[in-house]
């Protein structure tokens, strides 16, 4: 079975936690004018066909009307596809922003490098469930902004939970394996006089607390 584009972005052992898009307000605002134009052109074509039904040029008038009608239909379809293909994804490793219908633009932020998350919701945003999420990272990009994202509270919570799990794994697994060997090395330094007994006991306690 062929992989979807989103699945092809995933690394080994990487799993999708949440997929979100911009709020439906965004696409409605983008296509509102086009919907109005479609209705106006359609009605104008119908009225023209009724008014000039006895003329020989009637088929040409109708044809021109429906050709003009295709223009806002095509642009509306493109707007809908742009909205549909703009996705915000949280995996167990990254936050990914994907956009583009054919040419794809992918921006991702490693969860380990996320320093802070800022969420902004207006009054309407709270009523209808949308807002802006700003991710501050230690990478070269610095800031990753998701505007008018649907259910921003859910998105932010899922992202912070995923980051917490990564931080927990990083703090537990590697140290648990190296702690015994590290204590042995510290003990050798104590016997050589490099470390005092007090320094050795202090560092040993710190290491054992991480088990």
Tell how strand 130-137 and strand 94-99 pair up.
unpaired
Q: pTM score, two decimals?
A: 0.70
- DSSP annotation of 48 reads H
- DSSP annotation of 22 reads B
Short-list 202, 9, 37, CA closest to 104? 9
Q: Map out the domains of the chain with their CATH numbers.
A: 5-22+86-159 (2.30.29)
SS in 3 state form for 5-17?
HHHHCCCCCCCEE
Which token pair is 207? 């290491």
- DSSP annotation of 194 reads S
* Rg, C-alpha atoms of the chain: 29
What angle do helix axes 58-85 and 24-51 make, rounded to 10 degrees? 180
Alpha carbon separation from 74 to 15, 32, 45, 79, 85 (Å, rounded): 35, 14, 18, 9, 16
Exposed (0-12), middle (13-18) or buried (19+): which is 24, by Cβ within 10 Å? middle
What angle do helix axes 152-192 and 197-208 make, rounded to 10 degrees? 150
Tens place of pLDDT per residue across the chain (211 aa): 446 788 888 887 889 999 999 999 999 999 999 999 999 999 998 888 888 777 777 788 888 888 999 999 999 999 999 999 999 999 998 898 999 999 999 888 888 888 888 899 999 999 999 999 998 877 655 568 889 999 999 999 999 999 888 877 766 654 444 677 788 888 888 788 777 888 888 878 877 766 6
Short-list 39, 37, 38, 61, CA closest to 49? 61
């Amino acid at each position: 079975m062929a992989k979807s584009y989103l699945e092809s972005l995933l690394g080994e052992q990487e799993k999708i936690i949440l997929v979100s898009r911009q709020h439906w307000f965004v696409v409605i605002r983008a296509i509102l004018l086009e919907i109005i134009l479609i209705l106006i052109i359609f009605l104008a074509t119908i009225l023209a066909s009724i008014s000039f039904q006895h003329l020989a040029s009637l088929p040409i008038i109708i044809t021109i009307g429906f050709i003009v009608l295709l223009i806002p239909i095509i642009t509306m379809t493109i707007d809908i596809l742009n909205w549909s293909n703009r996705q915000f994804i949280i995996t167990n490793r990254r936050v990914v922003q994907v956009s583009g219908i054919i040419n794809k633009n992918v921006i991702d932020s490693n969860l380990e490098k996320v320093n802070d998350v800022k969420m902004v919701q207006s009054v309407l945003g709270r009523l209808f469930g949308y807002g802006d999420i700003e991710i501050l990272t230690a990478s070269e990009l610095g800031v990753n902004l998701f505007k008018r994202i649907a259910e921003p509270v859910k998105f932010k919570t899922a992202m912070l939970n995923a980051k917490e799990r990564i931080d927990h794994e990083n703090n537990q697994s590697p140290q648990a394996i190296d702690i015994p060997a590290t204590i042995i090395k510290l003990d050798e330094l104590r016997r050589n006089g490099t470390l005092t007994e007090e320094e050795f006991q202090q560092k040993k306690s710190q290491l054992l607390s991480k088990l």
